[in-house]
Amino acid sequence: MVAVIRRFSFQIIVADADGYHEFTNMNGDAGDTVLVRCLTLQACYAYGNYPRGHKWYIPLSDLHKAIRDRSAGDTEFMWRARRCDLTRYDVEKVVSDATHGIIHLRMY
């Protein structure tokens, strides 16, 4: 996935393919800080309301969930994912699903 984004996306790039970011996990009244492995994407240009240089941290678990959900309904996608042969259209849909439609890489 990272190789496809690096090759075809020019507006949003991969800043860190395997980094950690702190998120807050709310338990009742208290919040715990948890380190989560993330794919970090960065805007090279202004992207909507986001300024140049803005970073998005997408947990790898959300990416895995998006891949599982898309694989359940699309057998062709499932086989491409298993072979690590995703197309730029596949990666666009997975990132969009994992970010709930916030990020569109526009690699079409």
Q: Are 58 and 98 in contact (CB under 8 A)?
A: yes
Q: Which domain covers residue 90, as residue numbers?
A: 2-98
In-domain check, residue 56: yes
Burial class (CB in 10 A: 0-12, 13-18, 19+), 84: exposed
Task: Tell me the DSSP string of 5-24.
Answer: HHHH-SSEEEEEEEEEEEEE
Cα gap 105→7, rounded to integer Å: 12
Residues of the chain with pLDDT under 70: 108
Q: Please tell me the predicted confidence (pLDDT) of residue 48.
A: 85
Cα gap 69→78, rounded to integer Å: 10
pTM: 0.86
Q: Count how many domains the chain has.
A: 1
Q: Please tell me the predicted confidence (pLDDT) of residue 108.
A: 64
Average pLDDT, the chain: 91
User: How many Cβ atoms sit within 10 Å of the Cβ of residue 15?
Assistant: 15
In-domain check, residue 44: yes
Q: Please tell me the predicted confidence (pLDDT) of residue 16.
A: 93
In-domain check, residue 105: no
Residue 57: left (phi > 0), alpha (psi -120 to 50), or beta? Answer: beta
